[in-house]
Amino acid sequence: MRHKIGYRKLNRTSEHRKALFKNMLNSLIKYEQIVTTLPKAKELKPQIDKAITKGKKNSLQSKKNLFSELQSKFSVEKLSKTLSQRYMNRKGGYSRVIKAGFRYGDDAPMAVIELVDRDIQAKKIDVKNKTTDDTKKETKVIPESKPTVKGKK
């Protein structure tokens, strides 16, 4: 029986798991919605809830603790300023996991993990505007090739 086994190993070493969840936490804070496998999403949910609770304290010590976990100034600032204001009156349950079918390649169960009352525009942070890219097309200038010098025999 699996009593008192508190987490999923996900076929990874402890260092790999720690880095994986740190990156997933940063992505979830930045975009407020990510798509991943169901076991990863279920493991990430308590971690994001704890991080938002720490961000709501908004003290120097809580910011230092968050930075030691996330190692991203952007994530710590967003947690302590934006998300702490959004969830000020909520006592928990800042995220939700929604099942999203199965992945095509290996039939793994997929899930969407998102923050409750999320900002819809947060997903478009890194998306570049295509109209500006089309107007700024540059022509490539190919440098002239230098003649090769044959060596002496």
State yes or no: pLDDT of 78 exceeds 70. yes
Q: For position 129, what pLDDT does the model report?
A: 77
Q: Is residue 58 in a domain?
A: yes
Domain that holds residue 46: 14-122
* Counted domains in the chain: 1
Asked whether residue 131 is assigned to any structural domain, the reply reads no
Asked, for residue 128, whether it belongs to a domain, the answer is no
HEC sequence for the chain: CCCCCCCCCCCCCHHHHHHHHHHHHHHHHHHCEEEEEHHHHHHHHHHHHHHHHHHHHCCHHHHHHHHHHHCCHHHHHHHHHHHHHHCCCCCCCCEEEEEEEECCCCCCEEEEEEECCCCHHHHHCCCCCHHHHHHCCCCCCCCCCCCCCCCCC
Q: Does residue 136 lie within any of the structural domains?
A: no
Share of the chain above pLDDT 70, in %: 86
State pTM to two decimals: 0.80
pLDDT value at residue 95: 96
Is 137 part of a structural domain of the chain? no
Is residue 141 a part of any domain in this protein? no
* Residue 112 in domain: yes
95-110 tens-digit pLDDT: 999 999 999 999 999 9
Q: Work out the average pLDDT over 118-134.
A: 78
CATH code of the domain in which 61 resides? 3.90.1030.10
pLDDT of residue 25: 96
